[in-house]
């Protein structure tokens, strides 16, 4: 099985992010755009104008795609087939799948199964009735990105697995409730880690949420735990301001050790202990009066 399969085609009529090189489909490794040149500190979203409309539209579209792919998650389907469906749903909306070509990433979404914490590359693996799977997808439309992820449970997942998934969903909601103009960014991680510990889970600190808008990833970096040390050079801003747009995407792991190790493919991160992990993600916008969840799904209960 190839770790880096051929990327799916994108019609020329669909604009691509700046980080996707012209040679990506002919030779994915011939050129890699330096991400540090594209993903610095992005500006706040201008509320009440075209920027806000654009970021709300792409967030809603990401939610629609996530709702659509959920209908196909069943035993016997491969993660590569799920990726193809995500790709199809995004393209038919006139948008671009943001992960495709991001630092040569070969697929249109990530699929992280069981003990994979994040960034799993879709492949020929069949889903089993006992699996949990996270799908993380992002769309690029009219110059803005919309980013969301959800962990799905297959029919025969045991109670421990269901408890993990439900706790992770609740942790995300607690992180969202900690948001608002003038509130400290540190309140997000405090709320998530306190909740996770009370329920016997640990929070992975190798991944963070991130600012998003015209850039796929940018400051502010969103910590999901209390520790100040997470990623090298990671510094939290102090408070949230109207126009801040960012993701909250905690990864919870069963047990006390949430650390992961990187696979040889350069992307997939799995737990050191083999314990299962789950992740949920929403993109939020700080408004003058509170926080709006841009990627809330129509069928989702809070």
Dump pLDDT digits (tens) for 229-282: 555 555 556 899 999 999 999 999 999 999 999 999 999 999 999 999 999 999
pLDDT value of residue 76: 98
- C-alpha span between 157 and 243 (Å, rounded): 40
- C-alpha span between 196 and 204 (Å, rounded): 11
pLDDT value of residue 33: 60
- 249 in a known ligand binding site: yes
Cis amide linkage into residue 111, ω under 30° from 0:
no
pTM above 0.85, yes or no: yes
Other C-beta atoms closer than 10 Å to the C-beta of 129 total 12
pLDDT value of residue 228: 57
pLDDT value of residue 1: 40
- 147 in a known ligand binding site: yes
- C-alpha span between 273 and 72 (Å, rounded): 30
pLDDT value of residue 237: 63
- 136 in a known ligand binding site: yes
- C-alpha span between 210 and 217 (Å, rounded): 6
- 81 in a known ligand binding site: no
pLDDT value of residue 226: 85
Tokens of 74: 């069943």
Closest CA to 59 of 117, 98, 15: 98
Per-residue tens of pLDDT for the chain, all 302 residues: 444 668 899 999 999 999 998 888 877 666 666 555 555 667 899 999 999 999 999 999 999 999 999 999 999 999 999 999 999 999 999 999 999 999 989 999 999 999 999 999 999 999 999 999 999 999 999 999 999 999 999 999 999 999 999 999 999 999 999 999 999 999 999 999 999 999 999 999 999 999 999 999 999 999 999 865 555 555 556 899 999 999 999 999 999 999 999 999 999 999 999 999 999 999 999 999 999 999 999 888 76
Please give, one letter per residue, the 3-state secondary structure of 120-182. CCCCCCECCCCCEEEEEEEEEECCEEEEEEEEEECCCCCHHHHHHHHHHHHHHHHHHHCCCCC
- 87 in a known ligand binding site: no
Three-class SS of residue 167? helix
- 210 in a known ligand binding site: yes
- 292 in a known ligand binding site: no
pLDDT value of residue 2: 47
Domains of the chain and CATH, by start: 50-293 (3.90.230.10)
Q: Which residue has 């449970």 as its token pair?
A: 153
């Amino acid at each position: 099985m190839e770790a880096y399969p051929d990327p799916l085609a994108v019609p020329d009529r669909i604009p691509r992010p700046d980080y996707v090189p012209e040679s990506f489909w002919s030779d994915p490794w011939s050129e890699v755009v330096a991400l540090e040149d594209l993903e610095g500190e992005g500006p706040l979203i201008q509320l009440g104008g075209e920027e806000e409309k654009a970021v709300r539209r792409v967030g809603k579209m990401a939610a629609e795609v996530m709702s659509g792919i959920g209908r196909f998650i069943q035993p016997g389907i491969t993660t590569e087939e799920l990726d193809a469906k995500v790709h199809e749903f995004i393209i038919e909306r006139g948008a671009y799948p943001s992960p495709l070509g991001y630092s040569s990433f070969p697929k249109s979404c990530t699929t992280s199964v069981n003990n994979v914490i994040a960034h799993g590359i879709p492949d020929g693996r069949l889903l089993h009735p006992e699996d949990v799977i996270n799908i993380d997808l992002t769309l690029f439309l009219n110059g803005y990105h919309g980013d969301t992820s959800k962990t799905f449970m297959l029919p025969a997942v045991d109670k421990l697995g269901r408890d993990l998934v439900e706790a992770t969903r609740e942790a995300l909601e607690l992180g969202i409730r900690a948001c608002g103009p003038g509130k400290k960014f540190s309140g997000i991680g405090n709320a998530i880690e306190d909740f996770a510990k009370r329920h016997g889970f640990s929070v992975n600190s190798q991944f963070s949420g991130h600012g998003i808008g015209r850039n796929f990833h940018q400051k502010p970096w969103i910590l999901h735990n209390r520790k100040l040390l997470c990623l090298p050079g990671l510094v939290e801003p102090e408070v949230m301001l109207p126009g801040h747009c960012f993701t909250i995407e905690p990864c919870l792991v069963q047990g006390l050790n949430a650390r992961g190790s990187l696979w040889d493919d350069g992307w997939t991160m799995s737990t050191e202990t083999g314990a299962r992990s789950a992740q949920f993600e929403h993109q939020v916008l700080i408004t003058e009066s509170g926080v709006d969840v841009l990627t809330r799904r129509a069928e989702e209960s809070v």
